Structure 1
Amino acid sequence: MTTTLELQNFVGGERVGTVSGATLPLVDPSSGEEYGTSPLTRWTDVDEVMRTAGAAARSWTQTTPGQRQRMLLRIAEALEERSEELVVAECRNTGKPWAVVREQELPQAIDLLRFYAAAARVQEAGAAGEYEPGHTSFARREPIGVCAQVTSWTHPLLLAVARIAPALAAGNTVVLKPAETTPVSASLLAGIAGEVLPPGVLNLICGDRDSGRAMVAHEAPGMFSITGTVRSGMEVAASAAADLKRAHLQLGGKAPAVVFDDADVE
């Protein structure tokens, strides 16, 4: 008997549905089998998750680098403990060979978490001095607050970790939206991390381009990060400029493939 997977958004430490109840199909590219659904998130849901992340930021931004480091290390350990589950989720949703995920991408993701856990305690200090008599000037680094992030379908788990780890290490809360076709491993990651982090620090919503547009248009995030096409990046940059959000754009990746004459295409 085939089990149908029904993903939900992860908001405030809990799995939640959407207002409309609309869904998107989950498809195994290696077989073409439709094996589940993910929620199609719209503005009302985005507004709620942004408010949740904003509320959580009030306390999370005040945590110490040492506290954040310990939590990131615990998440890395939890990913190792549930590695087989993550590999299965990633391969079924992307069609990737098991060896690629198990031996390359998952270890890289875990290593990234540990790298940023260490980086949390190694922060650059700005120049300070008396540039005017009687006054001391210095630069103080503070968390941005809420970071909204969108990742692509190419490396769902690895890119999700690459986005959330530095943001959390720096004291920000996160609203993550994986690509609409490959949300499964990121959803599992959010649940694992949610067992370690305070509620609302890491949130995940599923959806399409319009879901992403609602995220960047919302007033709550101070930064928007996207991995996607150049056209998507241009649209994000224009929307972010409206209220001076910081924008981190990873665009136009190239992944060429060569198909030889002896390939059995069918």
Structure 2
Amino acid sequence: MAVDNIQHETSIKKNQRFLSITNPATEEVIGRVAISDPSEVNTAIKRANLAFTKWRLTTPIERANALSKLATYIDQHSRELAGIESRNTGKPIKLVLKEEIPSIVDCFRYFSGICRNTMDVSSGDYIKGHTSLIRREPLGVVALIAPWNYPLMMAAWKLAPALAAGNTVIFKPSELTPLSIQYLTDAFSEIFPAGVINLVYGEGSIVGSLLAASDMVQHVSVTGSFSTGREVLRLAASNVKATHLELGGKAPVIVFDDADIDQAVEAVKFSGFYNTGQDCTAACRVYVQSGSFETFTTKLIDAVKSLKVGDPLDPTTEVGPLISAHQRQNVHAFIENCRQSNSGKIALGGHFLNDKGFYYAPTLILGCRQSDAVVQEEIFGPVVTVMPFSSFEDALTLANDCRYGLASSIWTNDIRKAIAGANQMRFGCTWINTHLTFCNEMPHGGLNQSGYGKDLSSYSLDEYSIAKHIMIKYE
């Protein structure tokens, strides 16, 4: 299915409103999607509730087979999906094909397997004459709200565990990037019973709010900004709805003098500018020990200069555009604030690129103050700050001095220093001598203003299920 021909497949109603979907590399409209009005959202919720009565009773092997079929479908249509994702988001197509699609396929396959091995069932007599049983049960209807930076991958991270646990779902993609999940509409209909997966489209402030506030939705999972998460939490509080929030980050990277500097430079080059820096775990806040600071920054400047920014469909492109003109202006505002405060040296970038498309130059800022906005706030763009530190204690203090707590990394060849540092880092994930490395078997999630709850791994099944106690009196 060509991107330009994608249309929402519901019947067109009088006064129907549409989302115009833009290619951020060309600024051209590549499709449109019908916005779900309140009545359609409510219908989707009712349909999901009706389907839950049967889906919750399916056996693990039935759910596993459905997830496996979906994985196979995505694998077989990987090039079409990669093309859609690239045009809709501006991601370099080679990175979508190499890094993202395989992980998405594996995510569905992983949960296909693990849902058959959730041995969270136990029994025992804790009161004389009574046997207690514990079984794991699904929550019911769950609303899944995804961001625009990883549309298909975040869909997989949410859909796979929610369905594996036996829930029915209502999925709302970002209004900016609905095309890849829409492409899967037919696959969902063919593989899953009616009402198990329901797609709704529209602005988060309207459609997302309806889902978060609904009494017929038992759980809402959101990946997005802190402000989005706070609003969803406020709405969910009206009926004490369970929530799972992944709300962003400002990942510190600590590079000690005894680290492999070349490896650390390459890691920051890749993980700082992957997806044009639009990543909650991007290596965007780098601290380098004083003895290596000059060497590291010189090499990093050369490395970042080598990045090829350009057409996402060009297989040699490494960095594409930002998602929108609005996002590009937000990024530039941080840089202008830095310029005016004279707190750091903009060693590279700091300006718009190209006459067409939402491109921004990969940017390096050296020697900022710890209190500066470019250090403390999530910029969500191709901007990396690099600052020196003196001691182990100094590095840990600087790294933890942030309101976010999602991801971090430590670079050293001293295993004792690495473990001691990781133990003191207040982040949901600390990588050692690597960064932005994920596997579906390990949990992902944060603390503080990065939110709470886990994606991926068996831990994510806890987000979408409940431990139920059954007691039997036999005397």
TM-score (ref. length: structure 1)? 0.91
Distance 1:256 1:7 in 2: 37
Q: How does 1:11-26 map to 2 (within 5 A)?
A: 15=10, 20-26=15-21
Q: Is the 8 A contact 2:123 2:133 kept in 1?
A: yes
Deviations 1:235-257 (A, max 9, x none): 11121122121101011243467
| The 10-residue stretch of structure 1 (213-222 or 251-260) with the greater mean CA deviation from structure 2 | 251-260
Aligned match of 1:150? 145
Q: Which has the higher contact order (CA 8 A, sep 6+)?
A: 1
Q: Is the 8 A contact 2:122 2:135 kept in 1?
A: no
Aligned match of 1:12? none
- CA change 1:144–1:3 in 2 (3 A) is closer
Aligned match of 1:238? 234
Letter matched to residue 116 of structure 2: R
Q: How does 1:162-181 map to 2 (within 5 A)?
A: 162-181=157-176
- CA change 1:224–1:17 in 2 (3 A) is farther
Distance 1:261 1:93 in 2: 25
Distance 1:38 1:89 in 2: 14
| The 10-residue stretch of structure 1 (128-137 or 156-165) with the greater mean CA deviation from structure 2 | 128-137
- CA change 1:56–1:264 in 2 (3 A) is closer
Aligned match of 2:190? 195
Aligned match of 1:139? 134
Q: Is the 8 A contact 1:42 1:214 kept in 2?
A: no
Q: Is the 8 A contact 1:23 1:40 kept in 2?
A: yes
Distance 2:221 2:14 in 1: 25
**Secondary structure of residue in 1 paired with 2:353:** coil
Structure 1 gaps of 5+ residues are: 10-14
Aligned match of 1:56? 51
Q: How does 1:27-66 map to 2 (within 5 A)?
A: 27-66=22-61
Structure 2 gaps of 5+ residues are: 250-279, 285-303, 306-347, 355-475
**Secondary structure of residue in 1 paired with 2:147:** coil
Aligned match of 2:8? 8
- CA change 1:62–1:72 in 2 (3 A) is same
Deviations 1:93-151 (A, max 9, x none): 01111111111101100000000001111114254321111111222211111111100
After superposition, the CA RMSD in angstroms is 2.2
Distance 1:215 1:19 in 2: 24
**Secondary structure of residue in 2 paired with 1:137:** strand
Q: How does 1:71-150 map to 2 (within 5 A)?
A: 71-150=66-145
- CA change 1:264–1:183 in 2 (3 A) is closer
Q: Is the 8 A contact 2:6 2:179 kept in 1?
A: no
| The 10-residue stretch of structure 1 (23-32 or 137-146) with the greater mean CA deviation from structure 2 | 137-146
**Secondary structure of residue in 2 paired with 1:242:** helix
Distance 1:20 1:61 in 2: 37
Aligned match of 1:186? 181
Query: Could you tell me the percent identity over the aligned residues?
Result: 34
Q: Is the 8 A contact 1:5 1:37 kept in 2?
A: no
Corresponding position: 1:247 with 2:239: no
- CA change 1:139–1:19 in 2 (3 A) is farther
**Secondary structure of residue in 2 paired with 1:165:** helix
